[in-house]
Structure 1
């Protein structure tokens, strides 16, 4: 199309029409009008064109090229026009080659891994947190074990994830298993933080053998220290836990306390079992008169007084003077508890502030920190184990409704250090019915088996949730691997056949096979770094990494009690009166169960008069 243009001087000149100069004429239907074989156009407003017309003209290639380049393509050459297209094609080729190849390789790897059919699932912390995001039970903040290269290069900190369980399943137990320094204490610190923040508050009993947790979590307004050597500890004696007035109940309580101080492992030899059971029976008789710790120590120092305690009872033959070997073995076993009671403070040393374990178990208010140190752990072991055993017995013996359905946490770190707790086996099974939430920490299965025999594996596996760290002991590592479980997958199997004959045929056959393997091997358990572990819950196992947190010290782990006067070997009048009351009870035929004699009551009231047991 050509146009006759009028320049500013009024002269006419012919020029080819371009899009900026003309616009098509449209009919009433919005379609372009045609005049014969050519469409109709009109000049745009402001264009000085006198006339538009079509003409056919033959031009040289160079002239047509120059005109098109100048007027249509803004002086761009053909390579300039194609440059964006070529650049896009190159980018698409590179993207397709790298990204699509990576996607194909990933899909191929997933295909070769197979499809899980059943068994334990291995999840990353992110996937587990997404699956259990609605759970409001106890939580642990952890990190993925593998940090991406991108984050390493840019120095970006890894995001944290939450491992949690449903609140209703908290009372099904938590096991922390791993060698020293692997991260068990860090998990307990996080657990204590969560328990402290709860409203309403929940009761807590924690065995803190190294004083680590009391330093960071102790609240003197609500918490109680249970350590005879600590100045903050309250007065406690066996007679505080014995009910007066009910003869049969009195006898069972004394027997339970004696069992707590003289535990007997299930795999003990017959001889050992005999001596322990005999010492239990005699110690239960000693408790008839409600003696104080000082009186118990003084009585154990005198064989004559012990003989008088059992005289006229069915237990007298256990320490018959005619059987010197048997007598010596029973008395030696009985004397072991003497060192424990020597450590207990008097009511005066505790400012007449006493601890009633039975009342505390009913109310379930506050927290009990049963502490020791590396130097006092073994001397206090029997006392700590006995108190824990008594507390567990009361927690499982009282109605859950009496405490207002207030849960109670029982956290025992290094549970193997307490050796044998008689009630622990049944407590792990029945605790959930009484609102008791167990958290056990130990190093490996072998140490637990040393004190609980063949039932150790069952006791450790009874916890529904588990945090498993490094175990260098091979048998324990194998047991942990088997406890995590196996996975069953359906994998592809490709087989090929080939022939060298000219008329033969090659073939490829695709089929599937079912494979079973341990999700985590023994070697992986034994080679875990510190603060790395596996979280086992239901059918999921999650590899994780936990980071330590610097915590301020809110309380000293230990405050020494002022030394008390040395106990003389000479028997005190109180102990003599104690024996006299025992003889009187025996003469009346009640030496086996009756603990309410008048003289005994006088002794007890004299020693602990004004005792405050509101704790």
Structure 2
């Protein structure tokens, strides 16, 4: 104990005074007004140190805009929105720089525009896979390799022909039914990709009786349903046409995404594509991504596993059927998402307004970069939210008074506090942000402005793109017949002629396939025989051989079109003049 000017300053007294002072300060601050222009309510923006502390393992944490993301938040999903060239790909690169070097062995599926990620991260020794069939290094894949049980056909058909809006679903639903039957039949009989295309697109309905027997799709080919079945087939053709780019000889023993994921090792699937391939191949990209998602969600639950779905151009790709289930339910299996978004309108058009809302609301972490679309800016502004701000408002007044005794004047001032609610960031502010500048939203940690760093340059570890040799895959199509009214049929003799004529495309397919070695030349063949043609083609370089085949195919197809046109003209004449006497039969008004 010691005394100063007669006052007792014992340690206990000092401690009591200190605690009392802190409490008094807290009470005083509770009643003091907030500083003008500062938020009075809302989640404050966290500092970088706070985020690093929350992330736990700062050295392993991925970073977005220089801010570490807590490990526990990775499975909550990430969405990166912004116009092209604003920094989404740089942000993904920064994340992948960490993920591909983690000791925990992260893995995932990456849709890779221009092959920028493949050239930076691909590792054959790690077990990475390339899936674009137009790349020479791609694994040979078939939908038939993804079968696991009797329901697999339905799941794969849904991956290939996704749900559409109500007007589209009227045709998509029977198309899925038909395709599921085709896939099940091909898997059961150990068929190949070429057989899927032949049965689904080309074979006449009469030959499908055995294929569809016992399946609910059998009703599609019943008598009287010809026109409906033609429409169903057209829908199927639209969605599965990219399968024509796959290895035609691949079947159920080909590379399987499901089996590869089931091995549960840290490796990556890269789906590199050039800009000109995105539209024709996007339904195939979406199908394989869907298979990947389904495969991850049957893995045993794990808190340490990380299996990433990275779709940089998510709203530009085809519809991934299981994406809603993925973003809401994959967390316990280690599923993580990074989805890139350019325009909210694109996403709504692809998935519908309600589904798009579900997808975006399920992604907790959001990087918002500059957008050039007003609707998207409005949506993102509302996503960031509002803030409550206090302001001091001062007003002044002047008064004057005149009377018999003289005039007087005076002035007064008034100062008041106002609390207002306003957008944290206006849509116009989001549309005017600089390139590589954005807003990062973290669940429970608020929002803060960030700047996306430019990733350091690296020497490529692999070529971004290695074109595969041209693949010639011919699907022999049934003769095209003009739609007829129920009960109308072409004359029997014309139908017989059409069936009796050899199919020139089938002959061409028998002559050469670009991926096969040339057959040896027989002694003294006819120069126009298939053997001689095969030998001559085999002597050409591969690219020239493919060009010759394509030119020949164009000629054959043009000849077929001419013959079909002549056949239709003959049918029309038969309808107009069934007796051949030039007098007509009253049927001209049907055409």
Q: What is the rounded CA distance, in whole Å, between the counterparts of 1:423 and 1:472 in structure 2?
A: 29
Whether contact under 8 Å (2:197, 2:243) holds in the other structure is: yes
Is 2:375 aligned against 1:375?
A: no
Task: Map Cα deviations across residues 218-243 of structure 1 (whole Å, 9 max, x no partner).
Answer: 11212111111222111222222213
Q: What is the rounded CA distance, in whole Å, between the counterparts of 1:355 and 1:256 in structure 2?
A: 15
Whether contact under 8 Å (1:358, 1:391) holds in the other structure is: no
| Structure number, greater radius of gyration | 1
**Map of 1:567 onto structure 2:** 474
**Map of 1:65 onto structure 2:** none
Helix, strand or coil at the partner of 1:535:
strand
Q: Tell me which of 546, 550, 555 is aligned to 2:462.
A: 555
Residues 426-435 or 355-364, more deviating: 355-364
**Map of 1:131 onto structure 2:** 50
The number of equivalent residue pairs is 427
Whether contact under 8 Å (1:531, 1:545) holds in the other structure is: yes
Is 2:67 aligned against 1:169?
A: no
Q: Tell me which of 88, 111, 134 is aligned to 1:184.
A: 88
Whether contact under 8 Å (2:118, 2:462) holds in the other structure is: yes
Task: Map Cα deviations across residues 496-543 of structure 1 (whole Å, 9 max, x no partner).
Answer: 343224677644333321111111111111112222221122353222
**Map of 1:80 onto structure 2:** none
Whether contact under 8 Å (2:193, 2:249) holds in the other structure is: no
**Map of 1:393 onto structure 2:** 294
**Map of 1:279 onto structure 2:** 175
Whether contact under 8 Å (1:119, 1:485) holds in the other structure is: no
Helix, strand or coil at the partner of 1:499:
strand
Helix, strand or coil at the partner of 2:63:
strand
Q: CA deviation at 1:194?
A: 0.8
Q: What is the rounded CA distance, in whole Å, between the counterparts of 1:494 and 1:241 in structure 2?
A: 72
**Map of 2:197 onto structure 1:** 297
Q: What is the rounded CA distance, in whole Å, between the counterparts of 1:507 and 1:424 in structure 2?
A: 64
Residues 176-185 or 308-317, more deviating: 308-317
Relative to 1, partners in 2 of residues 1:526 and 1:306: Cα closer, same or farther, differing over 3 Å? Answer: farther
Whether contact under 8 Å (2:181, 2:217) holds in the other structure is: no
Q: CA deviation at 1:320?
A: 3.1
Helix, strand or coil at the partner of 2:40:
strand
Relative to 1, partners in 2 of residues 1:444 and 1:427: Cα closer, same or farther, differing over 3 Å? Answer: same
Is 2:308 aligned against 1:409?
A: yes
Q: Tell me which of 365, 384, 395 is aligned to 1:484.
A: 384
Helix, strand or coil at the partner of 1:131:
helix
Q: Tell me which of 331, 335, 355 is aligned to 2:237.
A: 335
Whether contact under 8 Å (1:138, 1:165) holds in the other structure is: yes
Q: Tell me which of 408, 411, 432 is aligned to 2:331.
A: 432
Task: Map Cα deviations across residues 405-454 of structure 1 (whole Å, 9 max, x no partner).
Answer: 52111111101122322211121111212211111002021111111111
TM-score normalised by structure 1 residue count: 0.65
Is 2:148 aligned against 1:253?
A: no
Relative to 1, partners in 2 of residues 1:565 and 1:327: Cα closer, same or farther, differing over 3 Å? Answer: closer
Please, which runs of 5 or more residues in structure 1 have no aligned partner? 1-109, 143-161, 244-249, 572-615
Whether contact under 8 Å (1:279, 1:333) holds in the other structure is: yes
**Map of 2:498 onto structure 1:** none
Task: Map Cα deviations across residues 556-607 of structure 1 (whole Å, 9 max, x no partner).
Answer: 1221223345436399xxxxxxxxxxxxxxxxxxxxxxxxxxxxxxxxxxxx
Whether contact under 8 Å (1:484, 1:520) holds in the other structure is: yes
Q: What is the rounded CA distance, in whole Å, between the counterparts of 2:210 and 2:195 in structure 1?
A: 15
Q: What is the rounded CA distance, in whole Å, between the counterparts of 1:318 and 1:486 in structure 2?
A: 55
Whether contact under 8 Å (2:154, 2:180) holds in the other structure is: yes
Is 2:42 aligned against 1:119?
A: yes
Please, which runs of 5 or more residues in structure 2 have no aligned partner? 1-32, 402-406, 479-591
Residues 335-344 or 481-490, more deviating: 335-344
Q: Tell me which of 240, 244, 252 is aligned to 2:145.
A: 240
Is 2:442 aligned against 1:523?
A: no
Q: What is the rounded CA distance, in whole Å, between the counterparts of 1:168 and 1:331 in structure 2?
A: 47
Q: CA deviation at 1:332?
A: 1.0
Whether contact under 8 Å (2:78, 2:363) holds in the other structure is: yes
Is 2:448 aligned against 1:542?
A: yes
Q: CA deviation at 1:196?
A: 1.6
Residue correspondence of structure 1 range 347-386 to structure 2 within 5 A: 354-386=255-287
Helix, strand or coil at the partner of 1:376:
helix
Whether contact under 8 Å (1:362, 1:395) holds in the other structure is: no
Relative to 1, partners in 2 of residues 1:568 and 1:513: Cα closer, same or farther, differing over 3 Å? Answer: closer
Relative to 1, partners in 2 of residues 1:511 and 1:556: Cα closer, same or farther, differing over 3 Å? Answer: same
